[in-house]
Structure 1
Amino acid sequence: MSVSFLAPFLERSRWFGGKGRAFAVTGTRELLRLGGAPEVVLLLVEVTYDGGETELYQVPLAVHDEPQDRLEHAHVGHWPPGEAGRPAYDAPQDRIAMSQLLRAFGERPGFVRLPGHDLDLDAPGSLFSGEQSNSSVLFGEDSVLKLFRKVTPGENPDITTHRVLTEAGSPHIAQLYGWIEVEDLQLGMLQQFLRTASDGWDLALASVRDLFAEADLHAEEVGGDFAAEAARLGTALADVHAQLRASFPTSEVPGSSLASAMTARLDASVGVVPELAEYADAARSVFEAVAGLDVVPAQRIHGDLHLGQTLRTVAGWKLVDFEGEPAKPLAERLLPDSPWRDVAGMLRSFDYAPHAVAESMPEEDPDVLHQRGVRADEWARRNRKAFLASYCGEEGLSGTDRVLLTAYVVDKAVYECVYEARNRPTWLPIPLAGVARLTAG
């Protein structure tokens, strides 16, 4: 049976990772089916690109007996394909279909539910807008269901890490309530809805705007000073790292291997961003210092941490999305890594926030631009210092720690240069300035 109708749906979906590449849908498989009106089918779709690379995507379908005008924007095709097929729609956009998925938790095989929370099975569902790589549905003010779109057989670190931290009673995450698992595929996770949450990136940007609005004041003198929040966030990350270190296997990585990987990424990045060549020798020197370390302790970490992966609630800071860096293969995301990678991601995020605000503001005369740049650097430096001091605690940074952290921050800034060159060229000066600062002496 032909399943070619799925290709146009994938191409127009924000979460599809193969945009701009030639591909074909080469297979489908029903993972499970929930009876009812509509029927809910969790469909596994195999995509094959030119060159032979394959990926698996989850496409949850809401299969109705009759066409649904209210869901026309979410129409996928007919399922099963052919004359006997019925109208099928993208299920996360169908509230009735999502209610069926919610009620299946704890009642149907594959829908695992952790004890400890009295789940509201009658809460209405609504799709979050704006997500890039998954689809999340909010159920009232009780819970959120994240459906993974690109799936890989085996453990999903977002589920396993949240489970460990939930069972340990960590106050720094949204609690895990359950997950969907069929055969060796983990398809989605149900977790606590943080009703009072504010996005950490948005809060940081608001603080910067307050600073820029008071041209004659320093960062610590402005009402929206962020340093205390940065310090609390450092404490939260230190606590999470300690719990992960106690709960998952740890290992050691040879310093020479870590340095080689960073140097290889730098060399590849210079080919994409020629402006990096000016700083390449200095960056290599930073990485060579890591090669002089015998071994580097490694553990389970977040893997893609920045201010956009944090939420501020009345109960404190929460870390979200423990999937790791989406562009990396799952097997690589599951490997233990140095916690300094997470710290480096946060430090780079503190550097990004003020310069991102400055980039979005209208052009001014040179004196105003200079003053804005000085204040931006001041804000970033103040919050990096507050975060790092809180994360390290009384022991502070050892010499080895400083070598590692500097290397990870440079490695992250190099990665950002490639990302901006490919996606937001006007923002390239932000990470490029970071590389210049970090490699200067």
Structure 2
Amino acid sequence: MVHAHPGRRSRGGTAAVSHLDPQVFATYLERTRWFGGKGRAYDVTDVSTIGTLPGEPPLVVVHLVEVTYADGSDGGEAGVELYQVPLAFYEHPEQRLDHAFVGWWEDPDHGWVHAYDALHDREAMALWQRAFDDAAESPDGTMSSDGLVFHRLPGHDLDLDAQSSLFSGEQSNSSVRYGEDALMKVFRKVTPGRNPDISVHEVLTEAGSTHVAHLYGWLETVQDGEPVQLAMLQQFLRTATDGWELALASVRSLYADLDVHAHDSGGDFAGEASRLGEALREVHETLHEHFPAERRPASAARELADAMVGRLEAAAAVVPELAEHTGRLRGAYDAVAGLGDLDVQQVHGDLHLGQTLRTSIGWKIVDFEGEPAKPLAERQLPDSPWRDVAGMLRSFDYAPRVVQRSLGIEDGPDAELLEQRAQEWAERNKNHFLTAYAGGGLSAEQQTLLDAYVADKAVYETVYETRNRPSWVGIPLQAVAKIGAP
């Protein structure tokens, strides 16, 4: 059940927007792919204006919508979340934007206005583009306007004639492409503090890393003395292909002839898996060099194990099928508790094949924001590189299962052969990726950490699938059933 309350207060000096109907925002959030509260009861408890884009028409206003969940904190998720909603306002209906219509309001200054999701509007998106260009012209690389601050890094001139195009299919944020020139990611769920996606890209860009899209700039506001980062502008990778889609294509090639083994398939992905492992190792090495790294005492291993157990207990309340596996999962976590000192550093935090791009010159890793469900303060903390490795291993396990399910073959010899080929593909690519990343075999300590992180990731996936794609929950549950099994 969703409720909407009028904006009762402003946030950090922003003006409350009492003339905006909160129920319109509540309805709008339900329609989006990026809203993270689906499946939970919540209230829209505040709507605030944080800034207006320089230049018009159209009038583009950035809002923060506060969502408060009835269940409070749930499995590490915040009880209150803020979502960024930029709206383009027009006096008259714009039929070209009917698909992006959000609502209409009686504005004290402009009368009745029609509001549209600004990211669908090329006229509106040109305002962001020009503001970033203005920032590049200033001596300090910044441009401020009505509470919004645009930052630019030197080294790239924007193409102001490039038209915008909104990417479809994203789930946590929204990305807009400016022709062949640049890509702007708009963060939908925002939290006061520096977003690691920006801070990590800034460091890797200045270090000259060849495995990321270079950062051009970012947009932020300030509330209660803290930055709230709203968007980032970066290099558009013209020749890039999504790593997840490449993996699925490889699986489909294998399944086209079930008599062929994975290593003989014309679409064999093992070489790409190896190159991706090498790319991740190089990114981790650069992050280790430029961000604080530490060796934590043995007590940190127990804390890590306890945190994993806590996430398991919270997940079991959402996914009852986990109950029969909790004993073996705890065994994987208990093994971590017995380890000695732990090495931690800046990592990606939410790595999988969908966070990679294959270009004509190699693999790129994207989206260093970390797990969207975690609080920002937690996502900023150093972690073990094996968390990223585990995320990739789980993704290699997912790809053949997703294609397998799409075929609808559940019984008979073909189903058994499909299962064999799925295991072959997953194990072959996991082994190539892991060997390339580690430069050989793993030590006993590394294997213990990796096993626990794989288990932790699979548990997380069961919750995600239960809430978002219930028909897919069998994929992570299948993996959970194998953890610790003889």
Instruction: Establish whether TM, by shorter chain, passes 0.5.
Output: yes
| Matched residue, 2:11 | none
Letter of the aligned partner of 1:311 in structure 2? L
CA shift digits 1:395-425 (9 cap, x unpaired): x311111111111111111222233333333
Does 1:421 pair with 2:438? no
- 1:303-314 superposed matches below 5 A: 303-314=349-360
Aligned with residue 174 of structure 2, among 127, 135, 146:
135
Equivalent pair of 1:7/1:25 in contact (CA under 8 Å)? no
The structural deviation recorded for 1:78 is 4.6
The structural deviation recorded for 1:136 is 1.2
Letter of the aligned partner of 2:319 in structure 1? V
CA distance in 1, matches of 2:52, 2:232: 16
Deviates more, 1:125-134 or 1:198-207: 125-134
CA distance in 1, matches of 2:26, 2:133: 34
| Matched residue, 2:367 | 321
- Structure 1 residue runs without a partner (length 5+): none
Call closer, same or farther: CA 1:362–1:47 in 2, change over 3 Å: closer
Letter of the aligned partner of 1:200 in structure 2? G
| Matched residue, 1:355 | 401
Letter of the aligned partner of 1:24 in structure 2? V
Equivalent pair of 1:136/1:145 in contact (CA under 8 Å)? yes
Aligned with residue 302 of structure 2, among 248, 253, 256:
256
The structural deviation recorded for 1:51 is 6.9
Aligned with residue 29 of structure 1, among 49, 53, 75:
49
| Matched residue, 1:162 | 201
| Matched residue, 1:227 | 270
CA shift digits 1:97-145 (9 cap, x unpaired): 1112101114132111111112212211111122222221111111111
CA shift digits 1:145-191 (9 cap, x unpaired): 11111111110111111111111111111111111122211110011
Letter of the aligned partner of 1:45 in structure 2? V
Letter of the aligned partner of 2:114 in structure 1? P
SS in 2 for 1:104: helix
CA RMSD of aligned residues (A): 2.0
CA distance in 2, matches of 1:385, 1:10: 41
SS in 2 for 1:71: helix
SS in 1 for 2:213: coil
Taking structure 2 as the reference length, the TM-score comes to: 0.86
| Matched residue, 2:9 | none
SS in 1 for 2:387: helix
Does 1:113 pair with 2:152? yes
SS in 1 for 2:132: coil
Deviates more, 1:113-122 or 1:224-233: 113-122
Taking structure 1 as the reference length, the TM-score comes to: 0.94
CA distance in 2, matches of 1:42, 1:424: 31
Equivalent pair of 1:31/1:44 in contact (CA under 8 Å)? no
CA distance in 2, matches of 1:118, 1:364: 54
CA distance in 1, matches of 2:443, 2:187: 40
Aligned with residue 3 of structure 1, among 6, 20, 23:
20
The structural deviation recorded for 1:233 is 0.4
CA shift digits 1:206-250 (9 cap, x unpaired): 111111112222111111000000000000000111111111112
CA shift digits 1:325-362 (9 cap, x unpaired): 11111111111110100000101111111121111113
| Matched residue, 1:92 | 119
SS in 1 for 2:183: strand
Letter of the aligned partner of 2:130 in structure 1? R
Equivalent pair of 1:63/1:79 in contact (CA under 8 Å)? no
Equivalent pair of 1:38/1:65 in contact (CA under 8 Å)? no
Seq. identity, %: 59
SS in 2 for 1:349: helix
The structural deviation recorded for 1:375 is 1.1
Equivalent pair of 2:458/2:477 in contact (CA under 8 Å)? yes
Does 1:182 pair with 2:221? yes
Aligned with residue 299 of structure 1, among 317, 337, 345:
345
CA distance in 1, matches of 2:236, 2:382: 29
Letter of the aligned partner of 1:207 in structure 2? S
Aligned with residue 42 of structure 1, among 45, 54, 62:
62
The structural deviation recorded for 1:268 is 2.9
| Matched residue, 2:426 | 380
CA distance in 1, matches of 2:152, 2:343: 34
Equivalent pair of 1:27/1:47 in contact (CA under 8 Å)? no
CA distance in 2, matches of 1:425, 1:48: 24
The structural deviation recorded for 1:65 is 4.0
Deviates more, 1:68-77 or 1:92-101: 68-77
- Structure 2 residue runs without a partner (length 5+): 1-17, 73-78, 135-142
The structural deviation recorded for 1:50 is 4.3
Equivalent pair of 1:248/1:299 in contact (CA under 8 Å)? yes
The structural deviation recorded for 1:430 is 2.2
CA distance in 2, matches of 1:70, 1:25: 31
Does 1:17 pair with 2:36? yes
The structural deviation recorded for 1:24 is 2.6
- 1:49-128 superposed matches below 5 A: 49-50=69-70, 53-78=79-104, 81-82=107-108, 84-85=110-111, 86-107=113-134, 108-109=143-144, 110-128=149-167
| Matched residue, 1:332 | 378
CA distance in 1, matches of 2:464, 2:44: 27
